[in-house]
Structure 1
Amino acid sequence: MADRTTIEWTDATVNFWWGCTKVGPGCDHCYAETWSKRTGESIWGASVPRRKIKSAVATIYRLQNGASWWAADAEIGKLHPNSRRRVFVQSMSDLFDKEVPDEWFAEAWDATSACTSLDIQIVTKRVSLIEKRLNGRVWPSHAGLIISIVNQEEADRDIPRLIELKRRLCIPWIGLSMEPLLGAVTLRPEWLVHLNWVIVGGESGSGARPMHPDWVRTLLAQCAAMDVPFLFKQWGEYGPYDPERPQCHVFWLGIDGHVYGVIPDGAAPMVRWGKKAAGRYLDGVTHDGYPEVVCG
């Protein structure tokens, strides 16, 4: 939890608790779990107690009031079109985790709802549990909902649910976090007309799985055709081969996500650059699209 963050698409993070349970292939190499294990904590898995962050409510109100631990960050909201700070809630957990006590969720929801001068970003892998968890609570007009989608199976299952929630709960904007992207995904036009944002990124860290460049290019083209803001967050551990930076450990990644020794049709030469060196350029361009947020 911090008044500032290195996450490319937000300005600050607030976590009311830490810990979660893995629910899909995108969770296999969870950065939050890896980070917490370094501190010796056991807060992951079903029926495992989460760790409540006592300072979270004070932190989100400090952000609401424009205060900051870092003076430079206090000005960051002025960089955005609506001069509001973007705050990602629960970067180390899931707000709709059913393992969390009801009173913890109520406290988090009340504090988040009260901070109307912030642009709240909520990301979840549990779209099917949202209405049950809300239990009649009103969705705040300054908060958007992003769901995690890593493959076509998850897209087909969860995007229609997200769109229906947007309608029923009057959610001001919705988006997809397609990170780590683990396969080619087709976003149907009837979905895209309702989506306000698509974030795409590759996996980083130990055990990272490479992302084929054509998966990203196709999503960019689909979003561009429907005027959906597109943000390319990172390549992750692996990125495309760059002839300006020769590497001896080049491998061929098929469009199906498999690594090949013989070059198949559609394969792309890839290199394990490491996250920082791989960067976030897509064919020489940085894509930093954001949803238009109108509160009130």
Structure 2
Amino acid sequence: MAQKSEIEWTDATWNPVTGCTKIGPGCDHCYAERFAERWRGVIGHSYEQGFELRLWPARLSQPARWKKPRMIFVNSMSDLFHKNIPKDYIDAVFDTMEAANWHVYQVLTKRSSLMRNYVRRRYNGGPVPSHIWLGVSVEDAAHKGRIEHLQQIKSDARFISFEPLLGPIGKVDLSGIAWAIVGGESGPGARPMEAAWATQMRLACEVYNVAFFFKQWGGARPKSGGRLLDGAEWNGFPWQIVPKAIMAELANQAENGK
């Protein structure tokens, strides 16, 4: 399945895999699980199996059919580096991303060591193609080791999602990171984010010259608390790493008022 996304930092989602399992506190109130489980048992629905891990080989060719360049969030409803996804299937996803190289692909994982090991093998320790952006999700200080794994990948397009930010990250090295996204948790039982935690990350991004995007405070609904941090909106984006084709398409859309 691929569709236009309501996520502020991407254009579309592509889910050649759906379903996942929890590996940390950031997973406790997973929005993807909550959505998928609504449809469990509904025969014929793409989530009739709920949030159980499922491969969708028929979706692998989707990006190649999108002729207009766009930014694509890969596996918004799963984690591409889940231990139960066969390596040859991950290969097929990367084959697609490499072939349909007029898009930017945003791959986000909590399984950072598995991603690091995979891309090192695939590219023989060399650089990851510039249109494939690799990121990690970090919810608190206990999990910032994922950042180190990301930094061990040879890429200019590394990014971090501090969402949901559940605690202070503390002292952090953001060397080599292009972009950071910060947001609070939303939905039933959302845990509050303190302003000091978000501001700390904003200041760290200034020190390391990292584009900073503040997505939301969260709450019962994603936009319950708005998007202002320290009295301003923060919409930082790593334009310097966006391929020329994407830049040209964005310029064309702006000219046509889209």
* TM-score category (smaller protein): 0.7 to 0.9
Q: 1:100 and 1:23, CA in 2 relative to 1: closer, same or farther beyond 3 A?
A: same
Q: 1:29 and 1:226, CA in 2 relative to 1: closer, same or farther beyond 3 A?
A: same
Q: Which amino acid aligns with 2:31?
A: Y
Of 220, 223, 227, 1:280 maps to 227
- Whole-angstrom distance in 1 between the partners of 2:195 and 2:152: 31
The alpha carbon displacement at 1:54 in A equals 4.3
Of 90, 102, 124, 1:117 maps to 102
The alpha carbon displacement at 1:294 in A equals 5.0
The residue aligned with 2:12 is 12
Report SS of the residue matched to 1:275.
Answer: coil
Contact 1:143/1:172, CA 8 A, preserved across alignment: no
The residue aligned with 1:235 is 217
The residue aligned with 1:242 is none
Contact 1:20/1:43, CA 8 A, preserved across alignment: no
The alpha carbon displacement at 1:135 in A equals 7.2
Of 177, 183, 192, 2:167 maps to 183
The residue aligned with 1:198 is 180
- Whole-angstrom distance in 2 between the partners of 1:278 and 1:131: 35
Contact 2:217/2:224, CA 8 A, preserved across alignment: no
Q: Extract unaligned runs of 5+ from structure 1.
A: 67-83, 238-271
The residue aligned with 2:30 is 30
Q: Which amino acid aligns with 1:173?
A: A
Contact 1:187/1:219, CA 8 A, preserved across alignment: no
Q: Which amino acid aligns with 1:176?
A: I
- Whole-angstrom distance in 2 between the partners of 1:211 and 1:153: 16
Of 228, 241, 253, 1:293 maps to 241
The answer to whether residue 43 in structure 2 is matched with residue 61 in structure 1 is no
Report SS of the residue matched to 2:2.
Answer: coil
CA RMSD for the aligned pairs? Answer: 2.0
Of structures 1 and 2, the larger Rg is shown by: 1
Q: Deviation per CA, 1:266-296: give whole Å up to 9, x if none.
A: xxxxxx6x43332212233211111121559
* Aligned length, in residue pairs: 232
The answer to whether residue 196 in structure 2 is matched with residue 214 in structure 1 is yes
Q: Extract unaligned runs of 5+ from structure 2.
A: 41-47, 245-258
Of 147, 156, 159, 2:136 maps to 147
- Whole-angstrom distance in 2 between the partners of 1:132 and 1:223: 26
Contact 2:141/2:168, CA 8 A, preserved across alignment: yes
